[in-house]
């Protein structure tokens, strides 16, 4: 039985996708397997700070304003309210790319512009008379949010940065080892961390609907080599404030919130 398209006005160009064909953003090489050797670290490891002018509050009225335009809603199938509610992935990617790529902001001046570009990768539905007869693989949906492979693909093809993701990490310490190795190789990384919905919510903020993505750009160890704090930029801020480059205690709640998945956005160290 044919499935009606989610919004009848959505009528952008489409094509048939072959049974053996996969979307360009769905690539196995995005997922790497790193050999992680445990090492004892003391002191602080600091990655680039997100500049205040780049901070995105995904819930703010100035975020995703492009999706208040009917033409954009018709083209993408999503409203500004939906983008704000589910905008963590594209928001953290926008902040990372703006921090590490000199040319990024010349092309994408807002998170909404990046979101529209990322959503354009979903052109593989087959639509007949406004009815979807074959559903392709989306880069985003309201049930699961942004696919990590789609974020990696978007980052690579817009900036040419080295971007990859890891799964099945056993703890945040493994992220530190990888980040430290990149620094030693003359690289400048930022980490997008996948966390469960209880991660770092203020008293006036509800839990998110699904897993959440934040930027981690600093790690602080005690003299015994124990990870005590991580420096986080979180786009989820309902009170219109900024969760920008703030140190968060690595307690049991934070550790349990880590899903074992992370995306590394890697630039060159120009110092």
Q: What is the pLDDT of residues 70-118, one digit of tens each?
A: 999 988 889 999 999 899 999 999 999 999 998 999 999 999 999 999 9
Looking at residue 66, which CATH number applies to its domain? 3.90.70
Q: Is the pLDDT of residue 143 over 90?
A: no
Helix, strand, coil shares of the chain as percentages rounded to 5? 30, 25, 45
Q: Tell me the per-residue pLDDT of 31-49, one tens digit each, with 9 for 90 and over.
A: 787 767 667 777 899 999 9
Q: What is the DSSP string of 188-247?
A: EEEEEEEE-TTTT--TTSPPPSS-EEEEEEEEEE-TTS-EEEEEEEES--TTS--EEEEE
Q: Is the pLDDT of residue 18 over 80?
A: no
Range in 4-18, 26-40, 65-79, 233-247 with the lowest mean pLDDT:
4-18
pLDDT of amino acid 17: 38
pLDDT of amino acid 240: 56
Q: Tell me the per-residue pLDDT of 149-158, one tens digit each, with 9 for 90 and over.
A: 889 989 998 9
Q: Tell me the per-residue pLDDT of 53-64, one tens digit each, with 9 for 90 and over.
A: 999 999 999 999
pLDDT of amino acid 199: 73
Q: Which residues touch 75 (CB under 8 Å, ≥6 apart)?
A: 10, 12, 116
pTM score, whole prediction: 0.84
Domain encompassing residue 131: 3-268
Q: Is the pLDDT of residue 9 over 50?
A: no
Task: Give the torsion through C-alpha atoms of 223, 225, 227, 233, to 10 deg.
Answer: 80
Q: Tell me the per-residue pLDDT of 170-226, one tens digit each, with 9 for 90 and over.
A: 999 999 999 999 999 999 999 999 998 777 666 666 665 578 999 999 999 999 989
What's the CA gap between 152 and 247, in Å, rounded? Answer: 26
Place of tokens 């490891």: 45
What's the CA gap between 131 and 6, in Å, rounded? Answer: 9
Closest CA to 78 of 22, 6, 176, 30: 6
What's the CA gap between 164 and 149, in Å, rounded? Answer: 9
Structurally, the chain folds into a number of domains equal to 1
pLDDT of amino acid 37: 65
Q: Is the pLDDT of residue 5 over 50?
A: no
CB 40 within 8 A of CB 225: yes
């Amino acid at each position: 039985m044919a499935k009606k398209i989610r919004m009848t006005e959505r009528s952008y160009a489409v094509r048939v996708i072959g049974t053996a064909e996969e979307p360009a953003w769905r690539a196995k090489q995005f997922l790497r397997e790193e050999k992680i050797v445990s090492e004892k670290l003391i002191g602080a490891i600091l990655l680039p700070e997100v500049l205040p002018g780049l901070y995105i509050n995904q819930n703010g009225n100035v975020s995703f304003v492009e999706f208040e335009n009917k033409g954009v809603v018709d083209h993408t199938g999503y409203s500004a309210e939906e983008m704000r509610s589910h905008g963590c992935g594209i928001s953290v990617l926008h902040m990372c790319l703006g921090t590490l790529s000199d040319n990024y902001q010349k092309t994408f001046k807002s998170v909404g512009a990046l979101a529209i570009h990322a959503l354009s990768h979903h052109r593989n539905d087959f639509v007949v008379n406004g009815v979807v007869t074959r559903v392709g693989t989306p880069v985003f949906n309201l049930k699961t949010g942004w696919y990590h492979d789609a974020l990696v693909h978007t980052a690579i093809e817009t900036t040419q940065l080295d971007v990859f993701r890891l799964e099945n990490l056993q703890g945040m310490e493994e992220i530190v080892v990888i980040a430290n190795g990149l620094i030693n190789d003359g690289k400048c990384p930022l980490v997008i961390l996948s966390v469960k919905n209880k991660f770092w919510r203020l008293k006036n903020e509800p839990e998110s609907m699904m897993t959440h993505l934040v930027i981690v750009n600093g790690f602080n160890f005690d003299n015994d080599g124990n990870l005590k704090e991580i420096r986080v930029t979180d786009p989820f801020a309902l009170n219109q404030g900024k969760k920008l480059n703030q140190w968060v205690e690595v307690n049991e709640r934070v550790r349990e919130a880590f899903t074992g998945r992370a995306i590394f956005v890697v630039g060159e160290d120009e110092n």
